[in-house]
Structure 1
C-alpha cells in the first residue's frame, strides 16, 4: 500500500520554522515526507534529517526526498541526540514533530490501528515489539483499566477492562473487529446510540500504550530542545489533549523565567527563560483545510524559539 500523507498546517509549520537556507533541520516524524519534502526544498547549503521509526515511512521518505538535501534516519525521535550524533550533528536550527498516528497507518487496515473493519490487532508504529493483542490478552484488569482511563480518558474504563478479561477467557482477542465489539458491549445502550464509534477512546489508549507514546514524547522534547541552537524554532503538531497538555506544559516551563512560588513577594530563584513563545495560542486549521482533510480538525500547532 502506498504511503499516503497530506501534510497538515503545512504553510503554518514552514512559517513557524522560519527556515534559513543554510540551516540544519529535523523532522522527527517524517511519515510520508509531506512536511520533510517542503522543508528540504527550501534549503541551499543546509540539510534536513527526516526521522521515523516506521519502516514503511522510511521507505517512502527515501523515495520522496531523493535528490534533495536530506538524510533519512530510522529511529524514534526520543533518541534524537544519539541518532543525529551518528551523522555528526550536535546542533539544530529547527525541529518539527507531527505527533500521533499517520494517515497511512490508519488507512492500512493490516497495521491494526483502526477500529473500522477487521484486521490483526497490531498497532506497532515501529513494527517491532509487543503488539496490541499481546497487551489485551495478558494485562490484568487493573492495568487495562488504568490504560483506558489515563491514555483514552475513557469514562467506562473499568467496564471495558472487565469485558476484555471475560472475553479472552473464552478465546484470545486477535482482531480489531473483536476488540471494537467488546468495547462497544461494555458501554450503556444510551452511549452506544449516541456515539457511533464507542471504541475510539479505547483504541487510542491501547495504541499509546503499545508505542510508549507519552514517554517517548517527554524524552524527545528534552532531547530535541537541548539540540536547538539559540534562535532555533521548535514546532509541534498535536492531535489529542494528552499530547497537547504535555507539550503546552513543557513549552511554558521553558518560556518561564521565575519559578518561585506565587506567594513570594519578590523573585529569589534568579531563573532565566530558555525560550520564547512564537504562538501565544495553538494554531488550528482553517475551515477550508478542515473540509479537505478531516484529520486536520483536531490538530494544534505550538511553536517556541530557543533563547
Structure 2
C-alpha cells in the first residue's frame, strides 16, 4: 500500500503524491521511543504511524474515513498488537486513547489537511478538477456539500465562503449559486466548478489557481466541521498527554495554523501584559512549553519532491505537569457560523 498523508486545500484536484508531509520534522519533535504510546489522530494511509511503530512506540491511530480504517488493517496485523486503529473523529482522541487502555500518552500528532487519497477519488466529491458527486464527507455520512449548496440561505453561504474559504468575492459566488440552484439543484462537482469559473473568471496573475479553490475549501471545511474538530482536538491532546508528552501539529492553511498558534500562545503564556497605567493580569500557569518558536516549514528538497508540502506549517509543544484547562474554541479562532442542523434555516 502506498503511503499517503494529508494535502493542502490549495492543491485540491491535483495529482496526489502518497508521501507523509514533514515526516522528518514530525519525528524530531515527537521523539518517539521504544515502549512509549503515541496517538496519530489523522491516520490516513499510515505514513506517520508506520514511522512511529518503526521507532518502537505503540500507536493509537484514528481516522473518520472508513476507507482509511479499512486500508490500515494490513498495518494492524503487521504491528502485532502495537497498533490500535479506531474509526472516529480526532476531536475525541483522549476518549479513544483511554478506550484502548491508555490513561495518558507520550505524544500526539495531527495532520490537519485533507487526505490525498480523498482528493484522488472523484466519487468522494472533494475535487473541482475531477467530476464526481458533490459530496466532500470524510465520514461518508450526514449532510453533504450538495445539501449545503442547494439548501443553505444565501446570507449563510456568503459567510461560509467568505470566512472559511477567505474568498473576497463570496457575495458574487453565493448569489450565482442561488440563481443557478433555482433552475436545477447542484449534483456534481464539475457543475459547481464550472459556474464559479464562469462567474469569477481566470486571473492572469493567478493562472495556476482555479477560481473554485476557495469555495471548495470552504464547503469541505464546513461539511466536516474541520475547524471545530481541530480546536477540540487541541483540548483533547492537552487532557491525555502526560507531563513531558509532545504535541505536534501540521496545518496547511492560515485558518488552521491560526488556531494552533493561538492555542500555544495561550497555553504557554507566563505573563499577562500590563503597563504603568494598568496592572498585570493574572494568568493561569502554562500547560505547555513551546518546542518551536515559529512555524517549521518543509525544506527545499521536500517541496521539490512533493509540491503539496509547500504550504505545510508545523508547530509543537511539550506538556507541563499543570492540569488541563477548559478551552473556548471561539477564542481560539473558530468562527461562529450557522449551525448545520437545518442548514441555517
Q: Same fold (TM over 0.5)?
A: yes
The Cα shift of 1:117 comes to: 2.5
The Cα shift of 1:300 comes to: 0.5
- Choose the corresponding residue for 2:195, options 165, 179, 182: 182
Using the alignment, how far apart are the partners of 2:50 and 2:312 within structure 1? 20
Using the alignment, how far apart are the partners of 1:264 and 1:108 within structure 2? 59
TM-score (norm 1): 0.94
Contact 2:52 2:58 in 1 (8 A): no
Using the alignment, how far apart are the partners of 1:216 and 1:83 within structure 2? 15
* 2:58 paired with 1:47: yes
Provide the secondary structure at the position in 2 that maps to 1:72: strand
Provide the secondary structure at the position in 2 that maps to 1:297: helix
RMSD: 1.8
User: Which residue in 1 is equivalent to 2:42?
Assistant: 29
Q: Deviations over 1:96-131 (max 9, x none)?
A: 001120110111111110110211111011111111
Answer with 162-171 or 4-13: which moved more: 4-13
User: Which residue in 1 is equivalent to 2:128?
Assistant: 115
TM-score (norm 2): 0.84
User: Which residue in 1 is equivalent to 2:177?
Assistant: 164
Provide the secondary structure at the position in 1 that maps to 2:260: helix
Using the alignment, how far apart are the partners of 1:261 and 1:60 within structure 2? 53
The Cα shift of 1:277 comes to: 0.8
* 2:203 paired with 1:191: yes
Q: Deviations over 1:104-163 (max 9, x none)?
A: 011111111011021111101111111111110000110101000110000000000000
Using the alignment, how far apart are the partners of 1:24 and 1:245 within structure 2? 28
Using the alignment, how far apart are the partners of 2:202 and 2:222 within structure 1? 28
User: Which residue in 2 is equivalent to 1:62?
Assistant: 73
Gaps of at least 5 residues in structure 2 are 5-17, 321-345
User: Which residue in 2 is equivalent to 1:244?
Assistant: 257
Q: Deviations over 1:167-207 (max 9, x none)?
A: 111111011100111111221x4637744401001000000
The Cα shift of 1:270 comes to: 5.6
- Choose the corresponding residue for 2:102, options 86, 89, 101: 89
User: Which residue in 2 is equivalent to 1:215?
Assistant: 228
Provide the secondary structure at the position in 1 that maps to 2:130: coil
Gaps of at least 5 residues in structure 1 are none
The Cα shift of 1:305 comes to: 0.5
User: Structure 1 residues 66, 265: closer, same or farther in 2, change over 3 A?
Assistant: same
User: Which residue in 1 is equivalent to 2:267?
Assistant: 254
User: Which residue in 1 is equivalent to 2:168?
Assistant: 155
Contact 2:3 2:20 in 1 (8 A): no
Using the alignment, how far apart are the partners of 1:20 and 1:264 within structure 2? 50
* 2:146 paired with 1:133: yes
User: Structure 1 residues 262, 77: closer, same or farther in 2, change over 3 A?
Assistant: farther
User: Structure 1 residues 199, 267: closer, same or farther in 2, change over 3 A?
Assistant: same
